[in-house]
Homo-oligomer: A and B are copies of this chain.
């Protein structure tokens, strides 16, 4: 199973944003929504072997984390407004727990940030996306459960980065010579794993 963890430093954990202005009213939740599409959706289908966590550190109800599992996801559409609407409903109606449950249509929400994600991971090998990291093409990726930590448009906070580095044997990887949007980086990592037939 491949997993992506996207940390939204300002992305709202509350449903009180406007679908007509997601970037301006949600603390740039749009950045994370595009990561959902890139991680989970392919031409005419869903990547059943992939999970994405969205760590929402913005707004009055933060921290909360959304987990979307490709294996059980339903009705996920690729356009931003649909994804924003789905997430807004879930953020409003779901009663948070202290850990992820099976969820509804593949989506579960838990109280907490990076800690609740790490508690959910089980066995895994951590990678962190970093412009100064080793090229993903030359990196050892043939592990059973790779987990990729990805920053938002602001990168990582010092605290978050220190936490990720402290996980033990975290590998810093980069996707190329030009700094890309998080969703493009996720698409490129997904492609790299596809080429090795690794999940």
A179 at interface (Cβ–Cβ under 8 A)?
A: yes
A30 to B191, CA, bound (A): 22
Interface flags for A9-51 (1: CB within 8 Å of B; 0: not) read 0000000000111110000001000100110011110000000
Stretch of A62-70, A73-81, A87-95, A111-119 that contacts chain B: A73-81
Q: Which of B79, B178, B194 contacts A178 (CB 8 A)?
A: B194
A71 at interface (Cβ–Cβ under 8 A)?
A: no
Q: A79-B80, A187-B188 are in contact. Are A181 and B22 (CB under 8 A)?
A: no
Interface size class of A (residues with CB under 8 A): 35 or more
What's the minimum C-beta distance from A1 to chain B, rounded to whole angstroms? 16
A153 touches B80 (CB 8 A): no
A140 at interface (Cβ–Cβ under 8 A)?
A: no
A80 to B81, CA, bound (A): 8
Closest chain B residue to A184, Cβ basis: B187
Chain A 125-160 interface residues, beta-carbon cutoff 8 Å to B = 153
Q: A23-B77, A187-B187 are in contact. Are A177 and B153 (CB under 8 A)?
A: no
A21 to B81, CA, bound (A): 8
Chain A 184-199 interface residues, beta-carbon cutoff 8 Å to B = 184, 187-188, 190-191, 194-195, 197
A42 touches B180 (CB 8 A): yes
What's the minimum C-beta distance from A34 to chain B, rounded to whole angstroms? 8
Closest 8 CB pairs of A and B: A43-B179, A184-B187, A80-B80, A30-B79, A23-B79, A176-B191, A178-B194, A176-B194
Given contacts A19-B20, A20-B81, A37-B181, could you give 12 more A-B pairs where the C-beta distance is less than 8 Å?
A20-B20, A22-B79, A41-B181, A42-B181, A42-B184, A43-B179, A175-B191, A176-B191, A176-B195, A177-B194, A183-B187, A188-B188
